Amino acid sequence: MNIYRQHTDLFEFDLLKCLRTDYYHNTCSKCIDICPENAFIFDRGKLRLDENRCKNCAVCVGVCPSEALSVNFFNPNGFILSLKEEKVTLSCKKNTPCLSVFSSQNFISLALRKDFVSCNLSHCEECELNKDNKTFESIAQRIEEANRFLAEIGTLKEIKVEAEEIKSERRALFKKLFNSAKELAGEGIDVKELANVRNRIPIKNIILKNSIKKEIQNFKNTQISTDYSFLSNKEISYDLCNNCGDCVKFCPTDALFYSKDSTSIWYQNGKCIACGICNDICEPKAITNKDDLDLIEFAFDRGKELISHTLEICNECKTPFPYKGGELICERCKSFVNDFGDIFKIAADIE
């Protein structure tokens, strides 16, 4: 029994990919917020799936930033790569489960790859999965975010929303299980490498970057804002950073990493999933978000040095520390001397 995977016959939750597992204080609750059956709960600090409540509806799949959630009857990434038609209408009654299975990245990738993409939301209002209208609103927000991104880069492409009712063809849909391995390999994605537990970059992000590469010559703007749920760009303050390395250790996708000599921290915004763990865990608050990023850097995973330190040996504890001028003493020893120096003075007086 794999204690890190919970599943029903059709649905799987990979605990090792969950951001709440990566960092105890992470506040991601997207699956909890949208689940129409309240099947996700917190148990002893960990997110758990109530397998008796889960109805395998796939509503939560598209909202998970780290792809910890999946259904074995439909792979949105494989679906995108296997589509041959240039004009596509997504419908829960025709060719997909609930459209909430798609993320913002999925919608953008579809729009960039196809001549025409529309989403039929005519069945949402009366759907049993749309409790308190949360599912419809979430899908609409993702489509709006995708269209906002497409507009900012200056393409004429967009995701249309249709309201005309479509006759159900779900029997044909569920007879076929989408196997995405062939399509992923054709996209230049190493499936074996993706299976490595250390490689945590969501496939939807890789497909998005590949989609951008194919169309980037048609973009009017490549310098765009980071005002999207899936984008982030970081900077580190030299004055505040103490080179503790926590941001690198806790980054789930290795978007932050050290140089070989551990004096520099580098960053690839193409690997960042905007989880915010590094910002939260940085004790001196040296990491902040930038308002924009270069899509060429993003799509081609170009790394950049965020900070470089000069390491010196502390006169007190004899360990390396980031030296920024002045006395050769690390912050830990300096703090200790400031806080407890009087103790040694008192001891000297007694003698």
SS3 296: helix
Give the count of domains, the chain. 4
DSSP structural state of residue 108: H
Residues 160, 195, single domain; the answer is yes
β-pairing, 256-258 with 159-162?
Answer: unpaired
pTM of the predicted protein model: 0.87
Residues 171, 293, single domain; the answer is no
Residues 207, 342, single domain; the answer is no
Place of tokens 């497909």: 207
Q: How far apart are CA 26 and CA 42, in angstroms?
A: 13
**Any idea what the CATH number is for the domain that residue 270 is in?**
3.30.70.20
Q: How far apart are CA 234 and CA 89, in angstroms?
A: 37
Out of 72, 93, 121, a domain closes at 72
Helix axis angle for 203-215 and 104-113, nearest 10°, is 30
The whole domain housing 342 covers: 311-350
Q: How many Cβ atoms are within 10 Å of 46's Cβ, its own excluded? A: 12
Residue 105 near residue 117 (C-beta atoms within 8 A): no
Q: Which residues contact 191 (CB under 8 A, 6 or more apart)?
A: 181, 184, 185
Q: What is the pLDDT along the chain (351 residues), one digit of tens a residue?
A: 566 788 888 999 999 999 999 998 999 999 999 999 999 998 877 889 999 999 999 999 999 999 999 999 999 999 999 999 999 999 998 899 999 999 999 999 999 999 999 999 998 989 999 999 999 999 999 999 999 999 999 999 999 998 766 565 554 444 444 445 556 666 776 655 554 545 689 999 999 999 999 999 999 999 999 999 999 999 999 999 999 999 999 999 999 999 998 899 999 999 999 999 999 999 999 999 999 999 999 999 999 999 999 888 888 888 888 888 888 888 888 877 776 666 555 544 555
Residues 156, 212, single domain; the answer is yes
Residues 25, 136, single domain; the answer is no
Residues 102, 199, single domain; the answer is yes
Residues 96, 216, single domain; the answer is yes
Residues 49, 82, single domain; the answer is no
Out of 221, 236, 267, a domain closes at 221
Q: What local confidence, expressed as pLDDT, does residue 182 receive? A: 58
Residues 201, 81, single domain; the answer is yes
Q: What local confidence, expressed as pLDDT, does residue 245 receive? A: 92
Residues 179, 65, single domain; the answer is no
Amino acid type, 288: T
Residues 77, 216, single domain; the answer is yes
Which tokens is 341 given?
């120096």
Q: What local confidence, expressed as pLDDT, does residue 320 receive? A: 84
Residues 98, 187, single domain; the answer is yes
Out of 48, 72, 96, a domain closes at 72
Q: What local confidence, expressed as pLDDT, does residue 350 receive? A: 53
Helix (H) or strand (E) run with residue 89 in it: strand 87-90
Residue 97 near residue 74 (C-beta atoms within 8 A): yes
Q: What local confidence, expressed as pLDDT, does residue 255 receive? A: 97
Q: What local confidence, expressed as pLDDT, does residue 319 receive? A: 82
